[in-house]
Structure 1
Amino acid sequence: MKKQTQIINAGRDSKWTRGVVNPPVERASTVVFDSVKEMKHAIANRGNQTLFYGRRGTSTAFAFQDAMVELEGGEGCALYPSGTAAITNAILAFVKAGDHILMVDTTYEPTRDFCDNVLAKFGVETTYYDPLIGEEIESLIKDNTRLIFLESPGSITMEVQDVPTIAKIAHQHDCIVMLDNTWSAGIYFDPFAHGVDISIQAATKYIVGHSDVMLGTAVATEKYWPQLRENSYLMGQCTSPDDLYLALRGIRTLGVRLKQHQENALKVARWLESRDEVDVVLHPAFESCPGHEFFTRDFTGSNGLFSFVLKDSNTKALNEFLDGMHHFKMGFSWGGFESLILANNNMARLRTATDVRYNTAVIRLHIGLEDPDDLIEDLAQGLERLKASLSQ
């Protein structure tokens, strides 16, 4: 089945839709039983999409879990109230005091904070590694290394990792491979075909697609699914059926939205590449992006998120550039229909294992669904403000 057809049909089994197009919203905390036999059956099957208690999920959750497994692969999908919760709880499900993990140096900032401030307190050691390390990852693996965490492309600076090579070496040492797969939305990168054991997404972003729901997912292979499922349940992780309904609705337009994000972003990125104020464009589809060769080999498309580095900037000029934007808004997250802009003028604080490649401001853009010509005009005016400020 082609991916676009799969997107339309994922999670729409008749046992969940009950004769209508979309799985209904089923809200529940307590589930009641008419007999001891029914209750015992629910207890025995509580991990297998059987109504047991609201925190285990209802048919709305089961439909969304099925949809994510159909899109990404794997055996089962755990649900969380945010992408950060998906990352932290997936890690917590598999580590104990005395363990060691390898974390990519370009990871999402809250993931770094979790490792440094929570895992460390529990006696779990974290070593950060260069995202482009490839087969040299083996030199960092210890006897107590439990898992290797990847994010590809990396946050802000967009390095693309050699996932199959790292996964192969990890498995030779019995290490679990986790990947933050949010950038591909589970559509443009097949995690399990490339050796990943647990694929994590902030479904807040492209899955939902409308900047109005917080949601996280972790899809696991058959080997790791039971442990992920039960540990996440014990940590009290659950999600709202109303949010899951919106996520299921978001999935239906995921393919066409991603294509438009991709088209718009490539046009804006090519324009930025031609500008004298821009030092380098960090878009995985461009040769100028570190790890571009792995993107070409492993990905089937791109989206609306990329960065660029200014040749020159200072705080005043950068503020002039940002403050006058019309279509681009400053805000955290990405993946919605709207365009966003964020600047980072101090990458050193976010990197401990790699040299900071860029000494000026790194600007991250999320290109939304507006007309790209309007977005280009907005950026052109901003760059003129930047130049004017720098010349003063």
Structure 2
Amino acid sequence: MADCRKKIVHLCLASFFIDNYSYQENILPRYHKIMGYDVTIIASLVSFDKNGRYILLPHEDQYCTIDGCKVLRVNYNSFFYKFNKLLRRYNSLYSLLMNERPDIIFIHGVQFLDITKVLRYKRHFPLVKLYCDNHADWINSATNFISKNILHKIVWKYCAKKLEPHVECFYGVTPLRCEFLSKMYKLPADRIRLLPMGVDDLAIPWGDRDEINLSIRSSLSISVDDFLIVTGGKIDEKKNIHMLIKAVKKLSYENIHLIIFGTIATSFKKDMEQLLHLPNVYFVGWKNSEQVMKYLLSADLAIFPGTHSVLWEQAVGLGLPSVFKYWNGMTHVDGGGNCSFLKSDNVDEIADVIEQIYLFPKAFQQMKNSALAFSANFHYSNIAKKSIENV
């Protein structure tokens, strides 16, 4: 256990913080609390509504999470509000840090201009240890001229370079996001490490797995002996879930089923709704993190045929054999046998991969064994220790 006098402040000011979810911003503080630290989260007002869509909370607030971590919600600085919202400058960040007096600050994303307030606190308390992770890459960010050439190459690079001399380590949560830190912000490679996202392993109901499997399958009239594929997340065209549905339809095996959970982007609803009524396809809508874990545990195989989401690491952490779309810099989920990769956006390729897994049970058993053996690398009980291992 950690020295209980030590305090960690997690700064979730570069993006969102959603209460009771299983994002890294939720789980790392939980495990640091379990490790014995006093934990406070200073977060923006950006959150999700009950349907999993982005919202801005109406006001600042203070409360505790179900894990006992203090949360301080802060608004953007009201002077030139729109400008400060874009550059992420907040009300009274320095005062909040001075009130909390952290020994460790874990910065979730360097992309906020108030990084200068963090450095002011570091100057006042030079023994404080700073860590910073990165969730941005060329797929989910820097996708237009302003974002890439102004925000990232100038503003956020400035923040990263200001932080560089004072931070213990920069973490990329995927290899691609490590590369983004190096190439976009010109940070030295020896200051960057991989800190993968994962699964809340203390919350995995291993002992109830058979009951969960039976319950979910029974609710959809799926036999326990049938082959169940699960996918989901924030569903848009880039996730290629429409191609996965078409692949299952193409195969036409009566005992191959596909469950899809999540929210469908408004612009993509019409295209998806035409596919969701096909035989052996079950759209169950938005689910909370506990329910998502249960759906994954009920499956034989997870397939994510498009852009990356944290569900990749959660599936791997659960020891679930998986199929992912190949992206350069996203192969950290490959433990050597636990998963397969799709090389293209192609219905025929997805169908072929499913069929090869389904028709060769001995090879699939080896895949399952590899998945279980590799899973602990994506358990937050291990990741949380690694994140501050030199404290």
The two structures share one fold, judged by TM-score above 0.5: no
Larger relative contact order, structure 1 or 2 (CA cutoff 8 Å, min sep 6): 1
Q: Which has the higher strand share?
A: 2
TM-score normalised by the chain length of structure 1: 0.30
TM-score normalised by the chain length of structure 2: 0.30
